[in-house]
Amino acid sequence: MADEKKPHEGAVLFLAIAFVAAGVLYNRCSAAKPPENGDQRTPEKVAEDERKADEASITKRLPAAPPPVPALALGRTKNTVTAADFGEAWPFTVTEGELHCMGPADRQMVVLVVGDTRYAINGNARESAKLFDFADLAAIHRKGRSAQGVIARGLERCPR
């Protein structure tokens, strides 16, 4: 008798499955209904609109970009060094560049910027070349010429 099924067990199981399915369908349908406040947007559209409003408010709070700095009349800044400045002692194959000094007082690095390339001029800069992505000075250095004069001028630009 233990193997015999009671006639109502199948009906109970069928009804339980039907109630679960009906609940799932009801939840899906009610989630798709627009809110009662008359807003016809989907929840995804509401979230997107809120995100856009947040972005707009942040943009409004940002300060305006400063106007571009006008170029100097001669096209030279105080950091520009040229072959004419050093005469025959100019140690590079390029005719000019921007000379910069950077780093702490005990590790001051002198760098010559030519176009988009930054060349390590002194020993500290060459030691840190990989870290700062400085180019090898050999690419623009004239053989037999010392860069000591340019290094000295660069160190004058270092913050004290």
The per-residue pLDDT for 73 is 30
Token reading at 65? 């970009």
Six-digit token string for 75: 């096209």
Asked if residue 132 is part of any domain, the answer here is yes
- Where do the DSSP E strands lie in the chain? 80-82, 96-102, 109-114, 117-120
Number of domains in the chain: 2
pTM: 0.51
Whether 54 and 89 share a structural domain: no
What is the domain range of residue 19? 7-61
Q: Looking at the domain assignment, is residue 38 inside a domain?
A: yes
Query: Could you tell me which residue, 95 or 4, shows the higher pLDDT?
Result: 95
What's the whole-number average pLDDT of the chain? 74
Token duo for residue 49: 């609109």
For residue 75, pLDDT over 50 is answered with no
**In this predicted structure, what is the pLDDT of residue 148?**
93
Residue 110 within any structural domain of the chain: yes
* pLDDT at residue 3, as a whole number: 56
Q: Which two tokens stand for residue 52?
A: 């856009």
pLDDT at 70: 41
In a domain, 70, yes or no: no
Evaluate whether residue 107 is within a structural domain. yes
The answer to whether 92 and 77 have CB atoms below 8 angstroms apart is no
Does residue 2 form part of some domain? no
> Is the pLDDT at 34 greater than 70, yes or no?
no
- Segment 83-104 shows an average pLDDT of 91
| In the predicted structure, residue 24 carries a pLDDT above the cut 80 | no
Residues 100 and 137 both lie in one domain: yes
Whether 16 is in a domain gets the answer yes
The per-residue pLDDT for range 107-158, each reduced to its tens digit, is: 889 999 998 899 999 999 999 888 888 999 999 999 999 999 999 998 888 7
- 84 and 56 fall within a common domain: no
> Are 108 and 53 part of one and the same domain?
no
* 56 domain-assigned: yes
Higher pLDDT, 147 or 65: 147
